[in-house]
Structure 1
Amino acid sequence: MAYFSRKKIDALQHLYKINLINSCSGFKSANLIGTKSKAGEENVAVFSSVTHIGSSPPLLGFFCRPTTVMRHTYENIKETGIYTLNSIHLDNFEDAHHTSAKYKKSISEFDVTNLASEYKKDCFSPFVKDSPIQLEMQFVTEYPIKENDTILVIGEIKGLYINDDLLEDDGFINLSKANITTINGLDGYTIPKLKKRLAYQRPKIFKQ
């Protein structure tokens, strides 16, 4: 088994270290965040850090890298307070990955990929058309992480759209049916398949 001490990790070549540390925590969620500036400039970007915060109220969080350089997604969210989360699936993961390229704010990633924007009800920000799961989010708060200057952004789910065939009777969303992707590290995309759902677990009772 390979072993990396902290000293060895610090001494690793930069790209090798990034790949190693981004992969070691396991598979990550894969989402496209859609935003729009007040001036009407659409933006969509891939994020692998979206995580469940709580169900009541329904909160999700994601991490932004340091804002020492332009972060269009973060800027638009702070400007308008509204954004969307859109699942990435087998048919669009390559275009989704391309949204990580650094374009000028005036250039929409929708225009340089096969991804298409769509609008629902009165949501200000664009959804990604044909995404099996789409969420309208409203900014709630943020927490600076002083250890590495990243920002945890927390939003509340204001609307949730799910393809009918994914939703089971008990509210479980079967991601496997839509070939929803996950991300391994920075650039490895995979399609997990549901093995089995297990019942709520309680402690075993041992005879005294």
Structure 2
Amino acid sequence: MQFDEQHLKGMDPRQRVNLVNSLSGFKSANLLATRSATGQENVSIVSSCFHLGADPALMGMIIRPHSVDRHSLEYLQETGVYTLNQVHKDIIAQAHQTSARYPREVSEFAATGLTPEYLADFAAPFVLEAHIKLGMAVAEIQELAINGTVLVIGEIRFVTLPAGVMADDGYVDIEAAGTVALSGLDSYHRTQREGRWQYAKPDKAPATF
């Protein structure tokens, strides 16, 4: 099966959305939690987070355009902080439900059965039920001219991990923490590691640890 530009543009819009969202491969599933300056708590699932650098510790995240109401973006702009909470197999249903378009006055925490918690005097809520949680400070926000999406760059200020998932070299076994992946818009997956591979060098054959 092949699709050229003409086929893609001529597809049913919903079919094209599902197709294109599947093509980037497995994606991370995180719950983005924020709190407005007036105290309104918000949580929503995002699949667009990516590593940007280790020193400083930066992550990027893409948020859809301002053409629709984006409470999370508004709140993190107001306060300068937000949290990212990895979705694991036991909270998939609640996490997916946060993608529903609730009115501003309705907290997705209450609507979905998730629980806000506050750690280390951080101003944004974490998700109590999550296992791996990151406290983020807004570093930069850019609107992308090509399609109006918003790039949010955040610096990691706080990390909480379950006991036993971090190796001596710093590697975090997110699979052991139950973290799941997303494909497309609505398909959730458990993972199965095939091994960790040693640093690649031109004069050395590939090998696992």
- Output the TM-score relative to the length of structure 1: 0.96
CA distance in 2, matches of 1:193, 1:125: 32
Partner residue in 2 for 1:148:
147
**Paired letter, 1:115:** L
Q: Structure 1: where are the runs of 5+ without partners?
A: none
CA distance in 2, matches of 1:147, 1:120: 38
1:38 CA displacement: 0.8
Identity of paired residues, percent? 39
Partner residue in 2 for 1:123:
122
1:96 matched to 2:95? The reply is yes
CA distance in 2, matches of 1:59, 1:79: 20
CA distance in 2, matches of 1:88, 1:62: 16
1:114 CA displacement: 2.0
SS of the residue corresponding to residue 164 of structure 1 reads coil
1:7 matched to 2:6? The reply is yes
- Number of equivalenced pairs: 204
Partner residue in 2 for 1:32:
31
CA distance in 1, matches of 2:40, 2:124: 10
Partner residue in 2 for 1:42:
41
Partner residue in 2 for 1:59:
58
- Output the TM-score relative to the length of structure 2: 0.95
State the Cα deviation string for residues 51-98 of structure 1 (Å, max 9, x = none). 000000000010010012210000001000010000000000111010
RMSD: 0.9
**Paired letter, 1:125:** A
Runs of 4+ with >4 A deviation: none
Partner residue in 2 for 1:167:
166
Cα pair 2:138 2:154 within 8 Å, conserved: yes
Partner residue in 2 for 1:197:
196
SS of the residue corresponding to residue 93 of structure 1 reads helix
SS of the residue corresponding to residue 175 of structure 2 reads helix
CA distance in 2, matches of 1:10, 1:87: 34
1:50 CA displacement: 0.3
1:130 CA displacement: 2.8
Q: Structure 2: where are the runs of 5+ without partners?
A: 205-209
